[in-house]
Amino acid sequence: MIVSVKEFPNVRLVNHPLIRQKLTLCRSKQTTNQTFRLLLNEITALMVYELASDYPTRRVEIETPLQKTTGDELATDVILVPILRAGLGMTHEVMQLIPRARVGHLGLYRDETTLLPIKYYSKLPPNLADSEVIVIDPMLATGGSLSAAVTLLKKAGARRIKLLCLVAAPEGIRRMLNDHPEIPVFTAAIDEKLNPRGFILPGLGDAGDRLFGTA
Protein backbone atom coordinates (compact mmCIF):
# COMPACT_ATOMS: atom_id res chain seq x y z
CA MET A 1 0.00 0.00 0.00
CA ILE A 2 1.31 3.45 -0.92
CA VAL A 3 1.02 6.09 1.79
CA SER A 4 1.36 9.81 1.06
CA VAL A 5 3.45 11.89 3.45
CA LYS A 6 2.14 15.43 3.87
CA GLU A 7 5.53 16.87 4.83
CA PHE A 8 7.21 15.28 1.81
CA PRO A 9 4.99 15.39 -1.30
CA ASN A 10 7.68 13.64 -3.34
CA VAL A 11 7.62 10.50 -1.14
CA ARG A 12 5.67 7.34 -1.84
CA LEU A 13 5.94 5.34 1.38
CA VAL A 14 5.42 1.65 0.62
CA ASN A 15 3.76 0.52 3.82
CA HIS A 16 2.97 -3.16 4.23
CA PRO A 17 3.21 -5.50 7.25
CA LEU A 18 5.55 -7.88 5.42
CA ILE A 19 7.85 -5.05 4.39
CA ARG A 20 7.93 -3.63 7.92
CA GLN A 21 8.77 -7.04 9.37
CA LYS A 22 11.53 -7.72 6.85
CA LEU A 23 12.96 -4.23 7.31
CA THR A 24 13.12 -4.79 11.07
CA LEU A 25 15.24 -7.88 10.45
CA CYS A 26 17.44 -5.94 8.01
CA ARG A 27 18.13 -3.35 10.68
CA SER A 28 19.25 -5.89 13.28
CA LYS A 29 23.02 -6.14 13.65
CA GLN A 30 22.52 -9.85 14.37
CA THR A 31 21.32 -10.48 10.81
CA THR A 32 23.95 -12.22 8.70
CA ASN A 33 25.10 -11.01 5.29
CA GLN A 34 23.34 -13.92 3.60
CA THR A 35 20.04 -13.21 5.35
CA PHE A 36 20.39 -9.47 4.72
CA ARG A 37 20.70 -10.12 0.97
CA LEU A 38 17.67 -12.38 0.99
CA LEU A 39 15.56 -9.87 2.92
CA LEU A 40 16.61 -7.02 0.65
CA ASN A 41 15.57 -9.04 -2.40
CA GLU A 42 12.18 -9.79 -0.86
CA ILE A 43 11.53 -6.17 0.10
CA THR A 44 12.60 -5.00 -3.35
CA ALA A 45 10.09 -7.31 -5.04
CA LEU A 46 7.25 -6.01 -2.87
CA MET A 47 8.22 -2.39 -3.53
CA VAL A 48 8.63 -2.72 -7.30
CA TYR A 49 5.15 -4.19 -7.49
CA GLU A 50 3.87 -0.81 -6.27
CA LEU A 51 6.36 1.34 -8.15
CA ALA A 52 5.37 -0.12 -11.53
CA SER A 53 1.61 0.02 -10.92
CA ASP A 54 1.10 2.97 -13.27
CA TYR A 55 3.31 1.75 -16.11
CA PRO A 56 1.41 1.75 -19.43
CA THR A 57 0.41 -1.54 -21.04
CA ARG A 58 -0.84 -2.62 -24.45
CA ARG A 59 -3.11 -5.43 -25.55
CA VAL A 60 -1.50 -8.38 -27.31
CA GLU A 61 -2.94 -11.48 -28.91
CA ILE A 62 -1.76 -14.87 -27.65
CA GLU A 63 -2.87 -18.45 -27.97
CA THR A 64 -3.50 -20.58 -24.91
CA PRO A 65 -3.52 -24.39 -25.16
CA LEU A 66 -7.26 -24.06 -25.82
CA GLN A 67 -7.90 -20.92 -27.87
CA LYS A 68 -6.74 -17.48 -28.90
CA THR A 69 -7.19 -14.63 -26.46
CA THR A 70 -5.75 -11.24 -25.59
CA GLY A 71 -3.65 -10.09 -22.67
CA ASP A 72 -1.40 -7.25 -21.60
CA GLU A 73 2.29 -6.48 -21.84
CA LEU A 74 4.31 -3.45 -20.81
CA ALA A 75 4.10 -0.77 -23.47
CA THR A 76 7.34 0.92 -22.46
CA ASP A 77 11.00 0.08 -22.10
CA VAL A 78 12.37 -0.01 -18.56
CA ILE A 79 15.91 0.96 -17.65
CA LEU A 80 17.38 0.20 -14.23
CA VAL A 81 20.19 2.38 -12.95
CA PRO A 82 21.71 1.02 -9.73
CA ILE A 83 24.11 3.30 -7.90
CA LEU A 84 27.29 1.32 -7.37
CA ARG A 85 27.83 -0.61 -5.33
CA ALA A 86 24.91 -1.09 -2.94
CA GLY A 87 22.30 -0.58 -5.66
CA LEU A 88 23.43 -3.83 -7.27
CA GLY A 89 21.96 -5.72 -4.32
CA MET A 90 18.43 -4.70 -5.34
CA THR A 91 18.80 -4.85 -9.12
CA HIS A 92 18.61 -8.60 -9.67
CA GLU A 93 15.22 -8.83 -8.02
CA VAL A 94 13.83 -6.04 -10.19
CA MET A 95 15.11 -7.87 -13.27
CA GLN A 96 13.33 -11.02 -12.10
CA LEU A 97 10.05 -9.10 -12.25
CA ILE A 98 10.89 -7.07 -15.38
CA PRO A 99 13.12 -9.45 -17.38
CA ARG A 100 13.31 -7.21 -20.45
CA ALA A 101 14.68 -4.31 -18.45
CA ARG A 102 18.05 -2.94 -19.49
CA VAL A 103 20.63 -1.92 -16.91
CA GLY A 104 22.91 1.08 -16.72
CA HIS A 105 25.44 1.71 -13.99
CA LEU A 106 26.49 4.85 -12.16
CA GLY A 107 29.46 4.91 -9.84
CA LEU A 108 29.21 7.67 -7.25
CA TYR A 109 30.86 7.79 -3.87
CA ARG A 110 30.55 10.30 -1.07
CA ASP A 111 33.65 12.13 0.09
CA GLU A 112 33.71 11.42 3.82
CA THR A 113 35.05 14.92 4.59
CA THR A 114 32.90 17.14 2.38
CA LEU A 115 29.99 14.65 2.00
CA LEU A 116 29.88 15.70 -1.69
CA PRO A 117 29.32 13.08 -4.43
CA ILE A 118 32.16 12.16 -6.77
CA LYS A 119 31.46 10.30 -10.01
CA TYR A 120 33.91 7.58 -11.02
CA TYR A 121 31.91 5.51 -13.54
CA SER A 122 28.97 5.92 -15.93
CA LYS A 123 27.62 3.47 -18.51
CA LEU A 124 24.02 4.06 -19.59
CA PRO A 125 21.83 2.31 -22.20
CA PRO A 126 20.53 4.27 -25.20
CA ASN A 127 16.97 5.54 -25.53
CA LEU A 128 16.66 6.93 -22.02
CA ALA A 129 14.17 9.52 -23.26
CA ASP A 130 11.52 6.95 -24.20
CA SER A 131 12.01 4.64 -21.20
CA GLU A 132 10.82 4.35 -17.65
CA VAL A 133 13.95 4.80 -15.54
CA ILE A 134 14.32 3.38 -12.03
CA VAL A 135 17.27 4.68 -10.02
CA ILE A 136 18.17 2.12 -7.35
CA ASP A 137 20.00 2.73 -4.08
CA PRO A 138 19.13 1.20 -0.70
CA MET A 139 19.90 4.38 1.25
CA LEU A 140 18.83 7.99 0.68
CA ALA A 141 21.03 9.79 3.20
CA THR A 142 22.22 13.33 2.41
CA GLY A 143 20.71 13.06 -1.06
CA GLY A 144 23.84 14.43 -2.68
CA SER A 145 24.74 11.33 -4.68
CA LEU A 146 21.19 10.56 -5.78
CA SER A 147 20.52 14.17 -6.75
CA ALA A 148 23.72 14.14 -8.81
CA ALA A 149 22.66 10.84 -10.41
CA VAL A 150 19.27 12.23 -11.42
CA THR A 151 20.91 15.37 -12.82
CA LEU A 152 23.24 13.20 -14.91
CA LEU A 153 20.33 11.07 -16.17
CA LYS A 154 18.33 14.13 -17.14
CA LYS A 155 21.29 15.49 -19.10
CA ALA A 156 21.47 12.09 -20.86
CA GLY A 157 17.84 12.45 -21.91
CA ALA A 158 15.83 10.65 -19.22
CA ARG A 159 12.38 12.14 -18.70
CA ARG A 160 10.47 9.61 -16.59
CA ILE A 161 12.48 8.75 -13.49
CA LYS A 162 11.56 7.10 -10.20
CA LEU A 163 13.81 6.53 -7.21
CA LEU A 164 13.71 3.21 -5.35
CA CYS A 165 15.33 3.05 -1.92
CA LEU A 166 14.95 1.04 1.25
CA VAL A 167 15.43 3.72 3.91
CA ALA A 168 15.40 7.51 3.58
CA ALA A 169 16.49 10.32 5.88
CA PRO A 170 14.48 13.56 6.03
CA GLU A 171 17.57 15.50 4.93
CA GLY A 172 17.91 13.45 1.76
CA ILE A 173 14.22 13.65 0.98
CA ARG A 174 14.31 17.44 1.28
CA ARG A 175 17.37 17.59 -0.96
CA MET A 176 15.57 15.59 -3.65
CA LEU A 177 12.45 17.73 -3.21
CA ASN A 178 14.47 20.91 -3.68
CA ASP A 179 16.59 19.68 -6.59
CA HIS A 180 14.11 17.39 -8.40
CA PRO A 181 10.60 17.99 -7.04
CA GLU A 182 8.95 15.97 -9.82
CA ILE A 183 10.86 12.76 -9.06
CA PRO A 184 8.87 10.35 -6.84
CA VAL A 185 10.86 8.67 -4.08
CA PHE A 186 9.64 5.16 -3.25
CA THR A 187 10.91 4.11 0.16
CA ALA A 188 10.03 1.57 2.83
CA ALA A 189 10.84 3.87 5.75
CA ILE A 190 11.55 7.48 6.67
CA ASP A 191 14.10 7.42 9.47
CA GLU A 192 14.86 10.06 12.12
CA LYS A 193 17.91 11.98 10.95
CA LEU A 194 21.56 11.87 9.87
CA ASN A 195 24.45 11.69 12.29
CA PRO A 196 27.44 14.09 11.91
CA ARG A 197 29.09 11.64 9.50
CA GLY A 198 26.05 11.60 7.23
CA PHE A 199 24.82 8.13 8.20
CA ILE A 200 21.11 7.47 8.66
CA LEU A 201 19.79 6.97 12.20
CA PRO A 202 18.57 4.48 13.25
CA GLY A 203 19.36 3.15 9.77
CA LEU A 204 20.76 -0.30 9.14
CA GLY A 205 24.47 0.37 8.83
CA ASP A 206 26.35 0.48 5.55
CA ALA A 207 24.15 -1.38 3.06
CA GLY A 208 27.06 -2.19 0.75
CA ASP A 209 29.12 -3.68 3.56
CA ARG A 210 26.20 -5.75 4.77
CA LEU A 211 25.38 -6.98 1.26
CA PHE A 212 28.91 -7.96 0.30
CA GLY A 213 30.43 -8.80 3.69
CA THR A 214 33.09 -6.09 3.59
CA ALA A 215 32.63 -4.79 7.14
Exactly one of 110, 160, 174, 179 is catalytic; which is it? 110
Catalytic residue flag (residue 110): yes
Exactly one of 102, 174, 179, 206 is catalytic; which is it? 206
Report strand pairing: 200-201 vs 193-194: antiparallel
Residues 47/41, Cβ–Cβ less than 8 Å: no
Residues 191/202, Cβ–Cβ less than 8 Å: yes
Helix (H) or strand (E) holding 165: none
At CA 136, angle to CA 134 and CA 138, rounded to 5?
Answer: 150
Catalytic residue flag (residue 72): no
Which residues partner with 81 through β-bridges? 135
Catalytic residue flag (residue 54): no
Catalytic residue flag (residue 187): no
Residues 184/146, Cβ–Cβ less than 8 Å: no
Instruction: Provide the 10 A C-beta neighbour count for residue 71.
Output: 10
Amino acid residing at 147: S
Active-site annotation, residues:
110, 114, 206, 209
